[in-house]
Amino acid sequence: MPRLATALCLLLACTGALAAPPSGERQAQLRSLLFQDCGSCHGMRLTGGLGPALTPDALAGRSRELLLATVRDGRAGTPMPPWKKLLSEADIEWLVDYLMQPGAAR
C-alpha cells in the first residue's frame, strides 16, 4: 500500500509539470517578443543575423529538448541570454514549438 501511495504522489507531481498552453493573447505577445527581441539578433525575419536563423529548415537537425534548453538557459560564450527568469516554461515550450512548425506565420 505505501508503494501505491508513493506512485500516486509521483504521478500527481508529474502532471503538474505539464504546462497548459498560453492563452491566445499571450501567444500574440510571444510572437511580438519573438520578432522584436529575438529578431534583434536572429534577424527581423528570423533568417539569421548576429545569431543563427530560426526558421524550421535551420532548426530541423536540432532536438526540441536542445532548443528548450537554449532558450531557457542561454548559450555560454555567446550573446544568447537565458530567458528562464522572464518566460514561463509554457511560454518557452510554445516559442520552440512555434519556431519548429513549418509554415508558421512569419
CATH superfamily ID and name for 23-100: Cytochrome c-like domain (1.10.760.10)
Specify the range with the lowest mean pLDDT, choosing from 38-42, 76-80, 100-104: 100-104
Q: Considering just the CA atoms, what is the radius of gyration of the chain in Å?
A: 17
Rounded mean pLDDT, 24-37: 96
pLDDT score at 12: 42
For residue 66, pLDDT over 70 is answered with yes
Rounded mean pLDDT, 34-43: 96
What is the chain's length? 106
